[in-house]
Every structure is written in C-alpha cells, then in structure tokens.
A = this chain, B = another copy of it.
Amino acid sequence: MAKKNAFYAQSGGVTAVINASACGLLEAAREHKGEIGKVYAGKNGIIGALREELIDTSRESPSAIAGLRHTPAGAFGSCRYKLKSLEENRAEYERLIEVFRAHDIGYFFYNGGGDSADTCLKVSQLSEQMGFPIQAIHIPKTVDNDLPFTDNSPGFGSVAKYVAVSTLEAGLDVASMSETSTKVFILEVMGRHAGWIAAAGGLAATAEGEPPHIILFPEVPFNQLRFLRKVKQCVSKYGYCVVVASEGTLNADGTLLADAGTTDAFGHKQLGGVAPTLAGLIKQELGYKYHWALADYLQRSARHIASATDVEQAYAVGRAALEYALAGKNAVMVTIERGKGKKYSWSLGEAPLEQVANVEQKMPRNFISRDGMNITEQARDYLSPLIAGEDYPPYRNGLPEVTKLKKVLVEKKLKRGFKV
C-alpha cells in the first residue's frame, strides 16, 4: 500500500503551547518516513483545507520545526470557523474530502477544543461514506480546560501558571501600597463557561489571608451582597482585597455580569468587562480605591512563563496522534490520564470522538469552597501539578526567540475554488 499523506490544522483560540503539539506531531512524522508521506498544514486552520491552501511542512528545516516547541500562538494560522451541520452544509464536508482525496490525505489531525472534536468526527464518518476513508485524530487544545475524558487540556497549564504567578505578583504590589493607595485589585481572566482559569489564580495563596481573597466562577451565580461583604471584611482584616474574576461570571438570573452583546463565529458571546463592572460597584458601595487588569490575549500567549508540565504534555499529545494514526486508530482524541499515586504522574490514553464532541467539562462542585468564592484543597491538589516546572524559551537581545516558518504552499490540484 502506498504511503498516505497527512493533514494537520490548528483550530480556534491559540495557546502558548499549541505549536508544541505541532512540533511533536511533525517530529514523529519525520521519524516514520517509511510509513507516512508528507504532512500538510492548513493555512489558517481548516479554512486552508477548504481553500486548498496547504503548507508543505517538509520544506521546513529541522531547527524551524524544533523551534515550534517554544513559539506561542498558531504558527500555521488558526481560525474560528465552525463547520455547519452535515444537513446544513454538506458541500463544505464534501469539499474537504475532495481536497483530501486530491492530495492523497489518509490522516486528518485536528488540534483544537470541543468544536474541532466534532468536526474531526464528521470528517472520519463522511470520508468513510464517500468511499475515501480518512483516519481522524483529535489533538486536544484549549486554555479553558473544558474537554471531557482527559484529565486536563494542553494549553490550560500554561495559562493557569500565568494567572497564578500574576496574581501572586500583583498581590504583593497591592499589599505593599494598600495603606495609602489601592485597596482592591481585580484581575479579570478568561473562561467562558468554566472557572478553571480563575481557579488557578487561587494557587497564589499558600497561607491564610494571602491573595487572592475572592475568586468569581461562572459556576457560581454572583451574589452582590455577599461579594461586597467579603470585600469589606478583607479590607478590614488584611488592609486590602485581591479578586480574580472569570469573564464568564453570571448574575443570579443567568445573564452575564458584563455582556458586550456581540458574538463570535461559533456563536459564543464576546465577553470582557467584568473587572470594571466590579470595580465600579465597589467604588460606589464601599468607596475603596481600586485598580484592575484585563490580561486578555497576554494570558494565553505567555510562552515565557509556560508550565513545563504543559509543554511536555502538549508535545506528547502531538507525537501520540501520529503514532495512534499509524497504529490504525480512528475517530479518537488523545487524552492525558493522571496516575493514581500521591505523587503526580501522567500517561496518554484515548477517548472515542463520538463521546467527546461538544461536551463541556465543568469544575466539580467540590473544587469550589462552601461560600462559592474560593478554591478547596481538592482543587489545589488537581491544579498544582499542572503549573509545575518552568520551560523557558531561548532569548536573544532580551526577547524570546520564535521560529519563523517558510510556509510554502503545495501546488493546487483542483480547478474549482471554494468560497469561505
């Protein structure tokens, strides 16, 4: 049987370590040249497949590929482009398969979150139906840590470390100034529907009274009275109060505390503004001087403070995807499994995409303290190993070195274009 080529694409919001997964996949592919042909990467994600814009990764040098491991964001380009359902737009899927057939693609590696797991499954199913079966392997990636069946998602550990370190540092800042200046500091972090990232801020506190004093999760409806009471108590007791607030914090009626009213291509609400909303409330009701920060993309691109655990896992899931494919697996997601022992350990596993697609893993209730505004020891035990270790990129002239790819496109084989 002739060697089949492979297609790899990055999907959705990028992370500090999604390129490390690409690195793992591509380095593994180069080690298996006898079994697999070329690996093409979608320019700007799945859109690159639809447009037949395929980057020939064989044109990149080994050092450029190795550099992916310490380069944040999506080196091949990613996209927020959710394929419609088969009923709604069968033409899109058929186009995908047509492009894959033209370039003799036998393996589809999709590196993303829940939405991309769904696409991955459909590619596997439809290609089978169309008589050109493609093995589809999902490589997990999401800062939101909301994928099911995996102990954690690559990308999360690094944003968690960024948020924990930033909370610790800013907390020291506020503490040292609070006698005459800022009393309340609010850090707004990502997390649409799950409070994993906000929870990570809680790791900054290692003793009673240390910041953050309050964490707001999407899982716990915001209670203004109890929030303000706790802010006041903290300022009385410690002289200041540090709050880590998830962008997805909800009011009791289920509306967002800060709803900008706009949506992205996936139909997700575009958020932002919980911190200033809380700050205004505190100023009005309690009169405290405040400061707030909104880390936004800084948190998910912060490769400079990536978790070593996260980098290793991101690389490993990329390698495993290739190995799973060569072992004949199909329609699975690579998973990370936590060892049973007291000391943290992990290994790789797999989950069928049929069960993964479009399921969100929320934080267990026992990860959130009884008052709903902090994390428990269980949460700490879960989160702590995920931020362990530092994996510094190389620097030149004071700045991190990043890989620069040539991104040479493969010659198109189809006469017909496709509008996306």
CB of A321 closer than 8 Å to a CB of B: no
CB of A87 closer than 8 Å to a CB of B: no
When the two chains form their complex, are residues A14 and B176 in contact, meaning their CB atoms are under 8 A apart?
yes
Closest to A16 in B: B169
CB of A55 closer than 8 Å to a CB of B: no
Q: How far is B293's CA from A166's CA once the two chains are assembled, in angstroms?
A: 14
Q: How far is B394's CA from A267's CA once the two chains are assembled, in angstroms?
A: 43
Q: How far is B296's CA from A392's CA once the two chains are assembled, in angstroms?
A: 24
* CB under 8 Å from chain B, chain A span 69-114: 71-81
When the two chains form their complex, are residues B172 and A71 in contact, meaning their CB atoms are under 8 A apart?
yes
Q: Interface size of A by Cβ–Cβ distance < 8 Å?
A: 69
A78 CB contacts on chain B under 8 angstroms: 176-177
What is the copy number of this chain in the assembly?
2
When the two chains form their complex, are residues A179 and B291 in contact, meaning their CB atoms are under 8 A apart?
no
A126 CB contacts on chain B under 8 angstroms: none
Q: A176-B75, A392-B390 are in contact. Are A169 and B400 (CB under 8 A)?
A: yes
Closest to A157 in B: B398
* CB under 8 Å from chain B, chain A span 174-231: 174-177, 179-181, 185, 187, 203-204, 206
A185 CB contacts on chain B under 8 angstroms: 297
CB of A387 closer than 8 Å to a CB of B: yes
Partner of A173, one of B73, B170, B265: B73
Closest 6 CB pairs of A and B: A74-B176, A387-B398, A73-B172, A293-B296, A169-B301, A173-B301
Q: Can you add 14 more A-B contacts, CB < 8 Å, to A304-B305, A307-B398? A: A13-B177, A14-B177, A73-B173, A79-B179, A79-B180, A161-B398, A164-B398, A170-B301, A173-B301, A174-B297, A187-B298, A293-B294, A293-B295, A387-B398
